Structure 1
Amino acid sequence: MSPTIFMIILSSLATGTIITMTSYHWLLAWIGLEINTLSIIPLISTTHHPRATEAATKYFLTQAAASAMILFSSMTNAWETGTWDITQLSSTPSHIFLTMALAMKLGLVPVHFWLPEVLQGSTLTTALIITTWQKLAPMSLVYLTINSLSTTVLLLMGLMSTVIAGWAGLNQTQTRKIMAYSSIAHLGWMVAVSSIMMNLMVMNLIIYLIMTSALFQALIVSQSKTIQDTTMTWALSPTISILTMALLLSLGGLPPLTGFIPKWLILEELVTQNLIPTATMMALSALLSLFFYLRLTYTTTLTLSPNTTTTKFKWRLKPNQPTQPMLIATTTSILLLPLAPLMLM
């Protein structure tokens, strides 16, 4: 892909998200989502491979259906109330349609099946964009309409997402599918707390974006597409290998690291609201996710797969990717825990 076309696509991607995040009219929000969807399709299918074409088709159909549902929800609300204002969503059918549409946009259970398949058919760079930037527009709509959405439905979807994503991720050997289920689980935590304390959801989203970006950049630099590939990260760079281990443990939510902040505060808030069974189930589901993070940690830093002698000299080849963004994101996502009190003020 030529640099000009690539820049046009990226600028369209950014424009679509910004239009949705700053709009107050349902039609403007829908237009932003459509621009966003249409600009990511060429990035997914840029490798000219049948898997990439399949992933692009699945992504387009899913996102088009979700956008159509958002448009239908807003039209139903405008028909009943006479307003197109995003914050004035008072029709009950509109609530139901909007909740399902946003769940489909984000990839929440039970409409999550497209996300692992789309990521598996994409390149690691495109998968990074889908799991980070593409979550901003739907999350901004959740932020704007949270007073209209059902707390019970959001809690149920968040609980199902954390449990099912943790369960499904156990059986995966592809790093992109593991990251897809990791994304579903993290979004489940965000959605569960969104109707109770919005500040926590925003903080969780920011930390998730930083940690996921850092781990994807580490996978891109080391070219690790499967669990077996991660066993050779040490040969490319022992430093990246150690940082990847700390990143994975942070994503799992172990206490000294950044990923512990959101889980700790969300569980505390759920217990404060007397949702003790929900908090217990979500804490147990975090153990499922932690298992496949620990497995990746083990293969990345502690094992060496059977290989020829020549592969041990991979360190002679310098990485052809810039490592400065990875360094910044990695450091932030590992060492942010002491700043937790400042983030909550």
Structure 2
Amino acid sequence: MFNNSWKMLFIFMLMMGTIITISSNSWLGAWMGLEINLLSFIPLMSDNNLMSTEASLKYFLTQALASSILLFSFILMMINQNYEIYINNSEANLTNLMLFSSLLLKVGGAPFHFWFPNIIEGLSWMNSFILMTWQKIAPFMLMTYTISNSLIIICSILSVMFGALGGLNQSFLRKLMAYSSINHLGWMISSLMLNQNIWMVYFLFYSFLSFNMTFMFNLWKIFHINKMFSTFTYSKSLKFMLMFNLLSLGGLPPFMGFIPKWVIINMLSVDNQFFIVFILISFTLITLYFYLRICYSGLMLNYYEPLWINQFLTNKLQMTLFLLSSSISLLGLPFISLIYMML
């Protein structure tokens, strides 16, 4: 990706579109930034094969629908507020519902999640990582201007529910990561009720853990569960590193992925939102179950391994980067706890 000048240009425009949306003080400027972001990401999705072309077309149609609803909703807001198009915290009316729904469609949250796994299935791992992380920043920042607790509760519960149940029957890793992203999306939506800073912390942790997984899958070109552990028969340490990264992404203590969930659980408990905490934890346990099911074969002593061993030639710099990021992911919670005790 970073070897082509035109890809670097579109990546720069992609970032600029997000920055324009975040820094805009009007809905029209935010919509313009979203459109720049959309039109910059579509050329990056097309990798001259049929699946990526189909995925880019589906992504364009879905985002165009969401953008048209967003444009229509803030035009209605402008009419109702005497042509004031500056961003304000509006009440939970029909316009606010349309606006929040269009942003939810852009990030792929339930009940508008239908396009997300199908599009990720046709993308490369690096494009999937951009779609799961960077493309969520601008819509989430706009969601903070249209906060309605009833909408947030319903959407967060539906997201963790569909994300957990949808990943149970998946054997393709890209779809599995997509449903996992929808599940994490439910936690991020629920954090909007608390504080924008908590959402930023959760998003940074999730982006770091997703980078670990997508970087490893892209490095060894793994797209299916059956290929995952047979790839690492020559290195038991890499196999266990992969399993521990999966468990960290699922939020199992004492790994680093448990930290943002812990923060949200504590904050929701302080606000007496025990029902939401129960729903979030219950469906996250289902997500953790299909992560453990993947790791089950690698942990068993009688797991089938071929007699021949395929050695993969990898870049030493890439391996060093992966081992460093994985070490931070695995040892993050004890390290942060130690720092907290020292302060």
Using structure 1 for the length normalisation, give the TM-score.
0.90
Post-superposition CA distance 1:101-132 (Å, at most 9, x none): 11111111100011100000111111111111
| Amino acid across the alignment from 1:204 | Y
Counterpart residue number, 2:336: 339
Q: Distance in 2 between matches of 1:188 and 1:73?
A: 24
Distance 1:129 1:317 in 2: 26
- Determine which of 165, 168, 177 is the counterpart of 2:166: 168
1:5-62 alpha-carbon deviations (Å, 9 max, x no partner): 111111111111111111112111111111111111122221x222222211111111
Post-superposition, which runs of at least 4 consecutive aligned residues in structure 1 deviate over 6 A? Answer: none
Once the two structures are superposed, the pairs formed by residues 167-206 of structure 1 within 5 Å of their partners are 167-206=165-204
Asked if 1 retains the 8 angstrom alpha-carbon contact of 2:160 and 2:187, the reply is yes
Cα displacement string for residues 229-264 of structure 1 (whole angstroms, at most 9, x for unaligned residues): 101232364443222111111111111111111222
Within-5 A mapping of 1:58-207: 58-81=58-81, 82-89=83-90, 92-143=93-144, 145=145, 148-207=146-205
The answer on whether the counterparts of 2:233 and 2:305 sit within 8 Å (CA) in structure 1 is no
CA distance in 1, matches of 2:104, 2:79: 24
Partner SS, residue 208 of structure 2: helix
AA aligned to 1:53 is: T
Specify whether residues 317 and 301 from structure 1 end up closer, same or farther in structure 2 by C-alpha distance, changes over 3 A only: farther
Q: Give the distance between the partners of 1:95 and 1:221, measured in 2 at CA.
A: 43
Answer whether contact 1:221 1:320 (CA < 8 A) is retained.
Answer: no
Q: Which amino acid in structure 2 is aligned with residue 150 of structure 1?
A: S
Q: Does 1:322 align with 2:318?
A: yes
Deviation by residue 1:75-119 (Cα, 9 ceiling, x = unmatched): 111111122222354582321111101111111110001110000
Structure 1 equivalent of residue 57 of structure 2: 57
Query: C-alpha separation between the residues in 1 aligned to 2:90 and 2:65?
Result: 20
Which residue among 263, 266, 273 is the counterpart of 1:265?
263
SS of match in other structure, 1:172 = coil
Match of 2:33 in 1: 32
The structure 2 residue matched to 1:290, chosen from 288, 291, 303, is 288
What is the letter of the counterpart of residue 26 of structure 1? W
What do residues 315-340 of structure 1 show as CA deviations (whole Å, max 9, x unaligned)?
25335983354344323333332437
1:283 shift after superposition: 0.9
In the alignment, residue 76 of structure 2 is paired with which amino acid? Answer: T
Looking at structure 2, the residues matched to 304 and 138 of structure 1 have their Cα atoms a distance apart, in angstroms, of 47
Among the aligned pairs, what percent are the same residue? 34
> What root-mean-square deviation, in Å, do the aligned CA atoms of Structure 1 and Structure 2 show?
2.4
Give the Cα–Cα distance (whole angstroms) in 2 for the partners of residues 262 and 23 of structure 1.
Answer: 28
Give the gaps of 5 or more residues in structure 2: none
